Structure 1
Amino acid sequence: MDESLARAQREHWERTYSAHPSMYGDQPSESAEHAATVFPPRGDVLELGTGHGRDALFFARQGFTVTAADFSPVGLDQLAARAAADGLTVTTLVQDVRRPLGLPDGSVDAVYAHILFCMALSTAESEALVGEVRRVLRPGGVLVYTVRHTGDAHFGTGTGHGDDIWEQGGFAVHFFSRELVDRLADGWTPAEVEPFEEGDLPRRLWRVAQRRTDWDVERLVS
């Protein structure tokens, strides 16, 4: 992805988090509630693109051990303050997902990413990120992520940046095709894809779940 766009998006989210510290409210997303039923009970969860951390806090309340990663120190500081006020333990990690994830191999049971994959990440960067997710997952680990897709009303509107990335109101979104979802599941179990809607437009999204394959398990233990 163009470095100038990536930098502009980081700055835009920093300003947004600073100006609207509760922009998504305190309640967990429906996708987080669903993911909690898929994750191994009381397992280690890495959330990518945690933002203010409403879903990370929900996972912590459900008894998961949570690492919350985001490229915004402002958002992570707000999350840490809320966790402390609620008596919850959440580890925060400043992470640009275009870089290798700052966790050891095979260190988490589940990875969760609500909307993160459809930020200003190119297809190549998304593929590299999925490879990093596979690296940090334990054998049999699960990835649950959500993305806006090409059936969304905003697809094809605003400023186009190529690679199905469109920008409106300062927010750049990579709209996923089903072909891309299937490509990111290559080498995993077949992707379980569930359509849903969210927000006022409404935004049209897919919720995707995929697990590491037996081939990955055999490779780790051999």
Structure 2
Amino acid sequence: MDEQELAEIQRQHWQDTYTVHPGMYGEEPSAPAVRAAEVFRAAGARDVLELGAGHGRDTLFFAAKGFTVQAADFSATGLEQLRRASLARDLEGQVTTAVHDVRAPLPLADASADAVFAHMLLCMALSTKEIHAAVDEVGRVLRPGGTLVYTVRHTGDAHYGTGVAHGDGIFEHGGFAVHFFDRDLVDALADGWDLREIHAFEEGELPRRLWRVTQSLPR
């Protein structure tokens, strides 16, 4: 299976999953989003780009905290659920959505965002080359001094090395393909950035083992 075929299968799998399980992650924000909001606020950020927003539990949290949020995801189904939720909470004026595959360039101008948040987006079925390109795009759209907070499952996770192997550190379980990060990849993605924190934590069943990475552009 080539990269393009795997990407399309994953896109359809997420569409189907959001259709069958609307609001599947609940309404409470993720722990990384709560921490990211503190980091962004301390840095003086006002607008946040969220990549892999899904049905928007973290998007809505950022908006409720006063940030203007641009939410991007490759699932139109998830984003439609987000739009309905933002209307219900009277937050539609602070939230915009865009169907976007992170493999493509971001539809944003250079230096147009204060902060970027991506919870488990970079560890989806992306090749190492695609991950580097995505982080390069984040660096392009962030303003000088802007901050990226992202989370990824890592090679200490129990699912690493098991299930269906797709190569390049990608393994599939239950229809979901994950690219498991090692420390070398984190360090490589921080080249030219200020790597501020790598925080290990656990989430969900198994439990999943992740890193929350915070890095900023030079001013």
Tell me the secondary structure at the aligned position of residue 156 of structure 2.
coil
Q: Which residue of 2 aligns with 1:143?
A: 148
Aligned mates of 1:158, 1:48 — CA distance in 2: 26
Task: Give the counterpart of 1:74 among 74, 77, 89.
Answer: 77
1:159-174, aligned counterparts within 5 Å?
Answer: 159-174=164-179
Describe the superposition over 1:122-155 as per-residue Cα deviations: whole angstroms up to 9, x where unpaired.
Answer: 1000000011000000110000000000000000
TM-score w.r.t. structure 1 length?
0.95
Q: Which residue of 1 aligns with 2:50?
A: 47
Q: Which residue of 1 aligns with 2:65?
A: 62
Tell me the secondary structure at the aligned position of residue 157 of structure 2.
coil
Q: Which residue of 2 aligns with 1:31?
A: 32
> Quick one: percent identity of the two aligned structures?
64
Question: 1:23, CA displacement in angstroms?
Answer: 1.0
Q: CA RMSD in A?
A: 1.0
TM-score w.r.t. structure 2 length?
0.96
Describe the superposition over 1:54-95 as per-residue Cα deviations: whole angstroms up to 9, x where unpaired.
Answer: 000000000000000000100000000000011003100111
Report the more deviating stretch, 191-200 or 140-149: 191-200
Aligned mates of 2:124, 2:136 — CA distance in 1: 17
Q: Which residue of 2 aligns with 1:117?
A: 122
Aligned mates of 1:124, 1:81 — CA distance in 2: 35
Q: Which residue of 1 aligns with 2:188?
A: 183
Q: Which residue of 2 aligns with 1:7?
A: 8
Aligned mates of 1:25, 1:178 — CA distance in 2: 31
Alignment: residue pair count:
214
Contact 2:23 2:81 in 1 (8 A): no
- Point out where structure 1 has 5 or more consecutive residues left out of the alignment: 215-222
Describe the superposition over 1:21-56 as per-residue Cα deviations: whole angstroms up to 9, x where unpaired.
Answer: 021010000000000000044611000000010000
Aligned mates of 2:174, 2:109 — CA distance in 1: 37
